């Protein structure tokens, strides 16, 4: 794969640092303009070899039959690209070092990379982009450094990706960057459309079809889409613990992590670090399912527990999701009867927008018929009243009538034409199937050893919530939308002879802060390089949109890494399907009383851009405005084609600016690390009291036990053979556990 070897040595000192794990955040910004640097001319291309796509699709089809496996969308190449053996290095006039690496995999729908080494000094920045820089990921910097030393990055569309690393002249040390995996997407992640597959999803209702019920809205907010190792997709759920402390635990199925048990002796901790979690990937409509918001995501997670015998995997996100993601941690029950019907299941079949199923019969404890899990460890759904599941649904939660988690999907054979016989691993069976903290839920979800049999769900921002305002959804009219046409051609609320600026009217009590906006658009055929649309917030004390408060370029982004707050990102996605997008503002916008939020179309002249609007006759309470030559007027006063309507532009607000009330990311009570040679353990305690350290092998046999009185501490392990072990620290009833690879 290597076509050229160009050594580039930094003038900075090569010093090792121990970086504290922080949230993986994409902090916006742009790479160097290609026209003002060396560009890509002469930049060698690392070509990925061809592979047998037909054989991969055939293998995927065989794996997906019966076992409700993860949704595989990419082929993995293991690589070894760094700035010393690949790409091209040059220096800027200010002495800054720039490394560019160009990777091509012919025929790829998109490419995503895993940096298997990632440690940057302060001042350094990393970007990924396509050759014309119309899609940019980053910047990633020293705040993305983590204990694992990994950085998984969301896909870049097309068959080429460029890596650009910038390091200042007097950096504290030479940054460590290694592209260890290149994943070639041969199926479209987050792009599957119902009806486009022989096994389409017509019978699976979108969550927007659920009855308006605050409890069930919380269930939808707790359910997430996972991409794993850059090649597969599954479902998962955020879960609460008995301490109600907001730790962002997440449950899924172990077979999602070990590729349906095909990976021998999997390094689960490393796999967890390669997970990207997508929030709120929901269709904004019910009758016609369209693509949901792809922009709300977080990268990497910590492994907390895994037990293959019951198909359980417990992870913890690297930070609490931001307030405008509106996360919810599901409650659960240890009922050995599975709670009471009716039951609701949520999931992301084939990595599509979130769906739900319902079942009205009592659950039956059963043994999974395909894989040899523990006997009687699964709930059997004999018959769904609504919906079914498909590949990618694995790890999706099952809730009882009290909206408490009772199980997660392992697999089954349900289809739209025969919605029967699915199996969910029983939550109570995964509670304490082993005495090892790394193989059970109890040590993590009941750290206080309360012995409670159930717990309610938790909104981590209950005292400072974010709200999605929507004149269309709040009226229950999300399926009564269209793109109205102007009598003289073009879209009535798009580029036409009368206006190119539109707004939707909202009102808040007192003062609020707008974090960003959802906008639901039809298929946009404009050249992305020519499209210029801004999302604009206006204030108007006299009525009618007037004084401009803020504008943000419409460039909806995969926010593969984020943390609490309103940090900007710039990772544009495809706009060639009807879809919902979320545009996050670079800073929260203060509004008072009535305010307006909309869009301004600057180019091209005949743009196909528009927001969906309510059909004519659906409302008499007009909330839509447009700016004509005479100024701002209501849509129903437009002389040509006007009528009372609302635009599908929904702000997300919060009643504080978030600076003082944002909950802090949970800090683990300790850290357990191996040295580079794997011959000693290093322990750091983040609390003052002594701890008891124990080391177990994978069979649960205790190999050593030591009292740790001070931090840091080191323990020699020269007598242990290479393998996988579990280290556990105990403070009374509190337990911290970590998997170790020697």
Looking at the structure, tell me whether residues 615 and 488 fall in a common domain: yes
Domain assignment present for residue 664? The answer is no
Domain termination site, one of 429, 455, 481: 455
428 with 233: CB under 8 angstroms? Answer: no
Q: Taking the CA of residue 345 as centre, how many other CA atoms within 13 Å lie in the half-sphere pointing to its CB?
A: 34
619 with 646: CB under 8 angstroms? Answer: yes
Q: Which two tokens stand for residue 725?
A: 């072990």
Looking at the structure, tell me whether residues 313 and 232 fall in a common domain: yes
Which has more confidence, 270 or 520? Answer: 520
**pLDDT score recorded for residue 664:** 37
**pLDDT score recorded for residue 13:** 22
Looking at the structure, tell me whether residues 681 and 606 fall in a common domain: no
Which has more confidence, 679 or 461? Answer: 461
**Domain that includes residue 422, residue range:** 207-455
The model's confidence at residue 201, banded by pLDDT at 50, 70 and 90, is confident
Domain assignment present for residue 201? The answer is no
Domain assignment present for residue 174? The answer is yes
CA 396 – CA 231 distance, rounded (Å): 18
The model's confidence at residue 227, banded by pLDDT at 50, 70 and 90, is confident
Looking at the structure, tell me whether residues 160 and 253 fall in a common domain: no
Q: What average pLDDT does range 136-148 have in this prediction?
A: 82
Which has more confidence, 231 or 193? Answer: 231
User: Which residues on adjacent β-strands are paired with residue 232?
Assistant: 72, 228
CA 365 – CA 335 distance, rounded (Å): 12
CATH classification at residue 50: 2.60.120.290
- Could you tell me which residues come within 8 angstroms of residue 638 by beta carbon, excluding any fewer than 6 positions away? 492, 498, 626, 628
Looking at the structure, tell me whether residues 687 and 728 fall in a common domain: yes
Q: What average pLDDT does range 708-726 have in this prediction?
A: 77
- Could you tell me which residues come within 8 angstroms of residue 654 by beta carbon, excluding any fewer than 6 positions away? 323, 324, 464, 465, 466, 467, 512, 513, 515, 588
Looking at the structure, tell me whether residues 227 and 181 fall in a common domain: no
* Count of structural domains within the chain: 4
Domain termination site, one of 408, 436, 455: 455
Q: Is pLDDT above 90 for 665? A: no
The model's confidence at residue 660, banded by pLDDT at 50, 70 and 90, is very low
- As a whole number of Å, the end-to-end CA separation of the chain is 30
| pLDDT tens digits for range 52-94 | 888 777 666 655 544 555 667 788 899 999 999 999 999 988 8
**pLDDT score recorded for residue 517:** 97
The model's confidence at residue 287, banded by pLDDT at 50, 70 and 90, is confident
Domain assignment present for residue 18? The answer is no
| pLDDT tens digits for range 301-353 | 999 999 999 999 999 998 899 999 999 999 999 999 999 999 999 999 988 99
24 with 301: CB under 8 angstroms? Answer: no
The model's confidence at residue 739, banded by pLDDT at 50, 70 and 90, is low
Domain termination site, one of 455, 479, 498: 455
Looking at the structure, tell me whether residues 542 and 633 fall in a common domain: yes
CA 734 – CA 159 distance, rounded (Å): 49
Percent of the chain's residues with pLDDT above 90: 49
**pLDDT score recorded for residue 195:** 35
Q: Which two tokens stand for residue 9?
A: 């040595």
Q: Is pLDDT above 80 for 492? A: yes
Q: What average pLDDT does range 189-213 have in this prediction?
A: 63
Domain assignment present for residue 1? The answer is no
Residue 734 to residues 312, 578, 668, 689, 690, Cα–Cα distance (Å):
21, 49, 12, 11, 12
DSSP type of residue 686: S
CA 659 – CA 387 distance, rounded (Å): 43
| Short-list 529, 441, 520, CA closest to 481 | 520
CATH classification at residue 415: 2.40.10.10
350 with 60: CB under 8 angstroms? Answer: no
Give residue for tokens 């609320």.
493
Looking at the structure, tell me whether residues 78 and 134 fall in a common domain: yes
> SS3 letters for 311-369?
CEEEEEECCCCCHHHCCCEEEEECCCCCCCCCEEEEECHHHCCCEEEEECCCCEEECCC
Looking at the structure, tell me whether residues 675 and 624 fall in a common domain: no
CA 526 – CA 63 distance, rounded (Å): 39
Best-predicted range by mean pLDDT (121-125, 155-159, 690-694) = 121-125
Instruction: Count other C-beta atoms under 10 Å from residue 636's C-beta.
Output: 14
153 with 227: CB under 8 angstroms? Answer: no
Q: What average pLDDT does range 260-286 have in this prediction?
A: 87
Which has more confidence, 345 or 227? Answer: 345
| Short-list 357, 353, 342, CA closest to 416 | 357
Q: Is pLDDT above 90 for 598? A: yes
**pLDDT score recorded for residue 56:** 79
Q: What average pLDDT does range 473-479 have in this prediction?
A: 86
Looking at the structure, tell me whether residues 647 and 575 fall in a common domain: yes
Would the pTM count as exceeding 0.75?
A: no
**pLDDT score recorded for residue 518:** 97
**pLDDT score recorded for residue 16:** 24
**pLDDT score recorded for residue 262:** 72
Domain assignment present for residue 273? The answer is yes
Q: What average pLDDT does range 225-232 have in this prediction?
A: 84
Percent of the chain's residues with pLDDT above 70: 83
Domain assignment present for residue 618? The answer is yes
Q: Is pLDDT above 90 for 738? A: no
User: Going by DSSP bridges, is the β-strand pair 249-253/312-317 parallel, antiparallel, or unpaired?
Assistant: antiparallel
CATH classification at residue 508: 2.60.120
Looking at the structure, tell me whether residues 474 and 445 fall in a common domain: no
The model's confidence at residue 10, banded by pLDDT at 50, 70 and 90, is very low
**pLDDT score recorded for residue 189:** 56
638 with 498: CB under 8 angstroms? Answer: yes
Q: What average pLDDT does range 15-36 have in this prediction?
A: 49
Domain assignment present for residue 5? The answer is no
**pLDDT score recorded for residue 430:** 97
| pLDDT tens digits for range 494-504 | 987 678 899 99
**pLDDT score recorded for residue 437:** 93
Grouping H, G, I as helix, E, B as strand and the rest as coil, residue 219 is: helix
**pLDDT score recorded for residue 490:** 85
The model's confidence at residue 98, banded by pLDDT at 50, 70 and 90, is very high
Across the chain, mean pLDDT equals 83
Looking at the structure, tell me whether residues 181 and 285 fall in a common domain: no
Q: Taking the CA of residue 341 as centre, how many other CA atoms within 13 Å lie in the half-sphere pointing to its CB?
A: 15
| pLDDT tens digits for range 369-423 | 877 789 999 999 999 999 999 988 999 999 999 999 999 999 988 999 999 999 9
The model's confidence at residue 610, banded by pLDDT at 50, 70 and 90, is very high
**pLDDT score recorded for residue 726:** 77
| pLDDT tens digits for range 699-713 | 678 888 889 887 778
The model's confidence at residue 2, banded by pLDDT at 50, 70 and 90, is very low
User: Going by DSSP bridges, is the β-strand pair 156-157/151-152 parallel, antiparallel, or unpaired?
Assistant: unpaired
């Amino acid at each position: 794969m290597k076509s050229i070897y160009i050594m580039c040595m930094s003038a900075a000192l090569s010093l090792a640092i121990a970086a504290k794990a922080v949230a993986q955040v994409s902090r916006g910004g742009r790479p160097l303009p290609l026209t003002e640097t060396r560009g890509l001319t002469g930049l060698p291309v690392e070509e990925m070899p061809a592979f047998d796509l037909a054989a991969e699709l055939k293998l995927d089809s065989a794996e997906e039959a019966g076992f409700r496996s993860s949704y595989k969308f990419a082929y993995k190449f293991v690589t070894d690209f760094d700035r010393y053996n690949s790409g091209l290095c040059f220096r800027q006039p200010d002495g800054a070092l720039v490394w560019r690496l160009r990777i091509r995999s012919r025929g790829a729908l998109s490419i995503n990379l895993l940096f298997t080494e990632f440690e940057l000094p302060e001042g350094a920045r990393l970007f990924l982009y396509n050759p014309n820089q119309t899609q940019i990921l980053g910047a990633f910097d020293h705040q993305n450094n983590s204990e694992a030393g990994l950085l998984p990055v969301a896909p870049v569309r097309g068959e080429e990706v460029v890596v650009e690393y910038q390091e200042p002249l007097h950096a504290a040390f030479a940054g460590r960057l290694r592209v260890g995996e290149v994943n070639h997407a041969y199926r479209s992640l987050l792009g599957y459309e119902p009806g486009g597959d022989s096994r389409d999803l017509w019978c699976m209702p979108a969550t927007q079809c659920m009855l308006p019920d605050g409890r069930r809205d919380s269930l939808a907010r707790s359910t997430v889409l996972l991409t794993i190792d850059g090649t597969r997709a599954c479902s998962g759920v955020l879960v609460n613990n008995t301490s109600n402390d907001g730790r962002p635990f997440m449950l899924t199925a172990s077979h999602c992590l070990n590729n349906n048990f095909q990976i021998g002796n999997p390094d689960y901790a490393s796999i967890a670090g390669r997970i990207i979690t997508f929030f709120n990937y929901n269709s904004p409509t019910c009758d016609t399912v369209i693509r949901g918001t792809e922009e709300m995501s977080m990268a990497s997670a910590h492994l907390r527990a895994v037990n293959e015998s019951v198909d359980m995997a417990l992870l913890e996100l690297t930070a609490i999701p931001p307030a405008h993601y509106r996360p919810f941690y599901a409650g659960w029950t240890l009922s050995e009867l599975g709670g009471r019907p009716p039951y609701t299941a949520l999931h992301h079949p084939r990595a599509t927008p979130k769906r739900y199923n319902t079942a009205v019969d009592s659950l039956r404890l059963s043994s999974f018929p395909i894989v040899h899990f523990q006997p009687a460890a699964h709930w059997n759904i004999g018959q769904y009243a609504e919906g079914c599941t498909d590949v990618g649904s694995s790890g999706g939660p099952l809730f009882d009538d009290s909206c408490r988690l009772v199980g997660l999907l392992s697999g089954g054979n349900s289809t739209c034409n025969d919605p029967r016989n699915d199996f969910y691993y029983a939550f109570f069976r995964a509670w304490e199937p082993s005495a090892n903290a790394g193989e059970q839920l109890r040590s993590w979800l009941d750290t206080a050893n309360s012995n409670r049999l159930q717990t309610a769900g938790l909104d981590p921002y209950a005292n400072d919530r974010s709200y999605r305002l929507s004149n269309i959804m709040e009226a229950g009219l999300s399926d009564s939308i269209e793109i109205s046409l102007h009598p003289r051609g073009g879209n009535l609320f798009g580029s036409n002879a009368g206006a190119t600026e539109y707004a939707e009217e909202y009102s808040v009590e007192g003062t609020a802060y707008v974090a960003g906006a959802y906008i639901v658009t039809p298929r946009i055929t404009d050249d992305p390089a020519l499209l210029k649309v801004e999302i604009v917030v206006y204030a108007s004390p006299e009525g009618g949109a007037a004084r401009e408060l803020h504008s943000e370029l419409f460039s909806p982004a995969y926010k593969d890494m984020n943390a609490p707050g309103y940090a900007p990102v710039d990772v544009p996605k495809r706009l060639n399907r009807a879809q919902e997008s979320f545009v996050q503002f670079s800073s929260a916008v203060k509004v008072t009383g009535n305010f307006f939020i909309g869009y301004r179309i600057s180019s091209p002249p005949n743009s196909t851009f528009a927001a969906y609007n309510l059909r004519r006759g659906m409302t008499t309470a007009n909330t839509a405005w447009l700016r004509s030559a005479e100024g701002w007027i209501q849509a129903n006063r437009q002389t040509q084609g006007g009528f009372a309507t609302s635009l599908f532009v929904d702000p997300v607000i919060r009643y504080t600016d978030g600076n003082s009330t944002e909950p802090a990311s949970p800090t683990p009570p300790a850290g357990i690390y191996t040295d580079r040679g794997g011959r000693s353990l290093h322990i750091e305690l983040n609390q003052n009291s002594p701890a008891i350290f124990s080391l177990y092998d994978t069979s649960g046999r205790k190999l050593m036990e030591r009292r740790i009185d001070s931090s840091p501490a080191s323990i020699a392990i020269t007598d242990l053979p290479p393998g996988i072990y579990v280290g556990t620290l105990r403070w009374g009833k509190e337990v911290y556990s970590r998997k170790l690879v020697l």
